[in-house]
Structure formats: C-alpha cells, structure tokens
Chains A and B, each alone.
Chain A
Amino acid sequence: MNEQLIALDRVTVRKTRTVLLDSVSLAVARGELVGIIGPNGAGKTTLLNVIAGFERFEGVLSLFGRPETHRRSRESRLRVGYIPQSFPVDPSFPILAVEAVMTGAIGRTGLFRSPGRRQKEEAMALMETMRLSHLAARPLGQLSGGERQKVSLARAILQRPDILLMDEPTANLDIAVQKEVLDLVDEIHRKEALTVLFVTHDFTMLPVAMGRAVLLDHGRMLFDGDIDTALSGETLTRLFRYPLETFRQKGRRFISYD
C-alpha cells in the first residue's frame, strides 16, 4: 500500500458560533489526485486551509506521518504547495511573472541567502517546460486570470512540494483556459508524482487523472470514494438536494436537470 501523506481524524473548525468543518476524517496516499467537491459554503476551502496550516482546528491532522497544527516549521511548509483560487495583483505592482514564480523557491533558499542566477534559470526552465516562457518578462498584474493561474501553478511547483493543494484553480476562467489549466495539472501530477487535492464546485471540468472524490456539504463529509460513484446522478442529487443526472461523452461529464 502507498505511503499515507495526509490523514485527518475528526477535524473540526469553528468560527464564532458557526461550524465550518464538522468532524471530517480523511486519508490520502502518495500520488493520489483527489477532488474535494461540494456546493458553495460546503467547507472545501476550510479543509484545504487546515491542511495548508492557515486555520486553527480541533482533532488530529497528520502530514507525512507526523501530527501537525496550524503552526508549522519551514521544512513542513515547504512540502505542501498551495494554489489559491485567485489572488488580486494591482496592475502596477512591481513584480514580473518570473519573479513571482521565483517567490516559490524562497523558502527552500533559506534566510541570508540570495536566490542568485541559478534560481532564475531554474524558474525560466520550469516556465519553458510549462509553455509559459512568453509570460516571464511581463508584469504579473497585467496578465489575464488564466495566465496568472498558470504562473501560480509554476510558483507552487518551483517550491518542490510533495503535496499540492489547489483551491478552485479554474474558477472564473473561460472554458478553453480551464482546459489548459486542467491539462497542466494532469501533466504536473504525472511528471512530478505529486499528491494533489483539487477543490472545485464545477464537477464537469476535472483533471483526467482524478480517480477519487470527497463530497462535502455544510462542513460534513457526504461521500468518499471513486469518482464515477461520486459524480453519479444519485450522489449529486443527494448533495445538491435537486434531481440531477450525469452522463459522459468523449471523456467529459455532463449534467442534466429539469
């Protein structure tokens, strides 16, 4: 059996009187690409924030076999990459795309050390591999949402993590760009052998390699299993409390409703 990288045991997150995550238990093995799917307010982002170390929680979280809290060592943080849904950047903010990618490697460079030319070359080579080199010298704030999301992906990869947390990386992108980002995710997952948690509420656009899905609703886990069962009409009807049917065509899932 593959090594278990992420394990949550009855993890709960409360904010004032609201329960955002309610006793969620989950185990993810090395190399898995798991979808975290649910409607708005289901607790998907909160779950990701707990694993990323951004959120206080009750219960037990283990990463790489070691218990963790929201306070992490640098080494522990370096092993978990994070891609936000979007991050607003002022159009005149003084950072080029390649410099934004390089910020992903700062943690592993360590304090009192300059990134140097080698790290810039490394960032450029990665951008080349990801077919993003044409964006390298452009100011980040002037890139489109899709281009910025791809840069964000490159930034997280340069960190060389074992786990990659992606929070709705295709939200608000047009369909062609969504497809490009998903193809990149599949490519990275395959090449880098990463363990990926992919949060989304759009289950019609998913990475091909996603074999397992966790469905969340109101902070509770509704389902954890293979992707086909998770996205069957029956399960989705239960999740959204609305009669839904799904069908597949040319590898893509479609949804039909009255």
Chain B
Amino acid sequence: MIDPLIDILTYPPIQRAAIACVLCGASCSLLSVFVVLMKMPLIGVSMSHAAFAGAVLGTLAGINPFLSGFVVCLLAAGVLGPLSDRTDLAPENMLGILFSFLMGIAFLGMGILTRTKAGVLNLMWGSLLTLSRFDVTILAVVTGVLVLFVAVFFKEIRAVLFNRRLARASGVPERMIYYALLFLTGAVVSSNLATVGGLLIFALLVQPGATALQLTYDMKHFFLISAASGVGACASGLVISYIFDLPSGASVVLTATVIFAAAYVFSPKRRRARLKERNRII
C-alpha cells in the first residue's frame, strides 16, 4: 500500500495537493485555537461564508475567486470586529444575520451563473487535485504570516484569549491583536477555498482547537496539539480519499471529527474532572 502512495507523490498535482493539505491543516488549526478559546465559532462560520460568497461573486465578475473571496473576507472582518465590540447589540444575532446574508449572496450568485457551476462547486467542497502553483504559493504565504504572527505575539495572544478586558487594562494592544486575528481568519479561509472549500473549512476552524481543549492546560502545547491534529486530519484524510476514491474535502473533515471524538473519549482532563467529582461526593 505504501509503494503506490510514494509513486503517486511523484506527480506534480499530487505533490501540490499534499503540500496544500499540510498548509491547510496548519493554518486552520492555528486559527481554531482562537475560534475555540474565544468561543466564537460563529465568527469562523461567517468568515467561511464570506469567502465563499466573495469567490462566487468573483467567478460571476470574471476575476480571480481567491482575490474576491479575500476582499469580501476582509470586509466581513471589518464589520465583525466592531460588531462584536458593541455592548448594546447581541453579537450572536448580528453574526447570524450576517452569516445568512452572505449565504444568500452566494446562492444568488450561483443562481444567476449561466456558465457551468463546477468551478463554483469546487469552491464549496474544495478540489485538492486541481490546485495551481499560484494557489499553493498564496496558501504558503498566508500560513507563514500566521505562524510568524503567533510566534511573535504569543504572550499578547494568550492575554487576549484569557480576557480581552483585562488584557486592555494591562496595556496589551488587544484591539490590534483581535483585529489582526480576524483579518488573518479572512486570509486563511479565502486561501483555503480551493483545498477544503468554503463550507467544509468551518470544521477545520473548530475541531483541531476542540481536540486540544480535551488534552492540555498548557497554552503552548495547545497550539502544538491543535496544529498536529489539523495537519494529521488533512494528511490522513487525503490518503484515505486516495485509497478509497472519496472526495478529499469530506474525507479530511470526517477524519478531523474522528480525531476529536478520540480525544474526547480519552481526554485526561475529563478523567481527572470525573475523579475529582467522585472524590467530592465520597
């Protein structure tokens, strides 16, 4: 089974798919730390739909879907940031409205698209085997920027994830960190449209972080476990999709779910909490 896999890796489209898979896993899983710990999965879902809607509009207008997806993502980040800072609005409601609005735009675009919809559907589900060198380069640059951002601002990110208000009170530029994370979410989501697609990417923005949450109390380990689980899900999902001839995006997402389920079942944190609870009752 190993030899055919190694053989197939000599083909450039497969090489690109493998590299993109690792980059997709790394970038989405790093962001999922932010999405999970700030309890903002709706931001992740809104951004992924913004990217998708932008890409559909780009296809309609005949421009690069990554570029249009990226622009709409940045616009969405610009709206989401101030919205989530407003105390007189329920952010969940506003995010729900924004999410459905973006979904409406995407489907409207698809409805009036007279050409074949295959390209647009690829943006929804992803298509690893049709990735261009340009797609992979963009993904590599965005992932590199994200990794650099996390490495350089790790202590500030930890303070913001812990408590935004306390971080601000302690002189941490929490708004800069928060908005940068939002914009990076937009960049990561739009650059991954071609890999796992605008709909399935949401799973990768939540599951790696949720997996790490089951396993560690250390923030550095949290980032590492999340990254390992995201990259692992993407790589093994790709291999499974090749072996069983399944859609790659769906295989990746289902593998991520299995990894999360295993982490949940064998979670040492949950086991310790159960023991503590039992001792308390005794």
User: Taking the nearest CB of chain A, how far is it from the CB of B67, in angstroms?
Assistant: 31
A103 touches B166 (CB 8 A): yes
- Whether a CB of chain B sits under 8 angstroms from the CB of A87 is yes
Q: Chain B residues near A91 (CB, 8 Å)?
A: 273
Q: Does A78 lie within 8 Å of B170, measured CB to CB?
A: yes
1/0 per position for B122-162, CB-CB distance to A under 8 A? 00000000000000000000000000000011011011001
Residue in chain B with minimal CB distance to A77? B171
Instruction: Closest B residue to A115 by CB, please name it.
Output: B155
Chain A residue with Cβ nearest B212:
A94
Residues of chain B within 8 A of A241, CB atoms compared: none
In the bound complex, residues from chain B placing their C-beta under 8 Å from that of A103 are 155, 158-159, 162-163, 166-167, 170, 172
Could you say which of B162, B172, B217, B269 has the most chain A C-beta atoms within 10 Å of its C-beta?
B217
Q: Which residues of the partner chain A approach B219 to less than 8 Å between Cβ atoms?
A: 94-95, 99
Say whether A24 faces chain B, with CB atoms less than 8 Å apart. Answer: no
A92-B213, A94-B222 in contact; A155/B166 too (CB < 8 A)? yes
CB contact under 8 A between A81 and B155, given known A15-B88, A94-B218, A100-B162: no
Query: In the complex, what residue of chain A is closest to B270 when comparing beta carbons?
Result: A92
**Chain B interface size, under 10 / 10 to 19 / 20 to 34 / 35 or more:** 20 to 34
The chain A residue with its CB closest to the CB of B273 is A91
Selected contact of A87 from candidates B39, B88, B155, B163, CB within 8 Å: B163
> Is the Cβ of B173 less than 8 Å from the Cβ of A82?
no
Q: Does B168 contact A (CB under 8 A)?
A: yes
- Residue among B39, B159, B214, B221 with max Cβ neighbours from chain A (10 Å): B159
A81, A92, A106, A114: the one contacting B159 at CB < 8 Å is A106
Q: Is the CB of A77 within 8 A of B169?
A: yes
Partner of B165, one of A84, A92, A108, A139: A84
A74 at the binding interface (Cβ < 8 Å): yes
Do A94 and B165 form a contact, CB below 8 Å, given A99-B158, A106-B159? no
B216 interface contact, C-beta 8 A = yes
Q: Is the CB of A93 within 8 A of B37?
A: yes
> A16 near B: Cβ within 8 Å?
yes
Pick the most buried of A84, A111, A114, A115: most chain B CB atoms within 10 A of its CB: A111
- CB contacts (< 8 Å) of A92 on chain B: these are 213-214, 217, 269
Q: With CB as the reference atom, state the residue of chain A lying closest to B163.
A: A87
A82 touches B166 (CB 8 A): yes
- Complex alpha-carbon distance, A198 and B256, angstroms: 48
Q: Mark A98-141, 1 if CB is under 8 A from B, else 0.
A: 01100111111101101100000000000000000000000100
A16 touches B159 (CB 8 A): no
> Which of A52, A95, A105, A108 touches B217 (beta carbons < 8 Å)?
A95
Give the complex CA separation of A187 and B214 in angstroms. Answer: 39
Known: A87-B165, A95-B217, A115-B155. 9 other contacts (CB 8 A): A54-B169, A81-B169, A82-B165, A93-B37, A94-B37, A94-B212, A96-B218, A103-B172, A108-B171
Closest 6 CB pairs of A and B: A107-B171, A82-B169, A74-B171, A77-B171, A107-B170, A103-B159
Q: Which residues of B contact A (CB under 8 A)?
A: 37, 39, 88, 152-153, 155-156, 158-159, 162-163, 165-173, 212-214, 216-219, 221-222, 269, 273
Residue contacts A-B, CB under 8 angstroms, 6 given = A78-B170, A92-B269, A93-B162, A94-B218, A99-B158, A111-B156
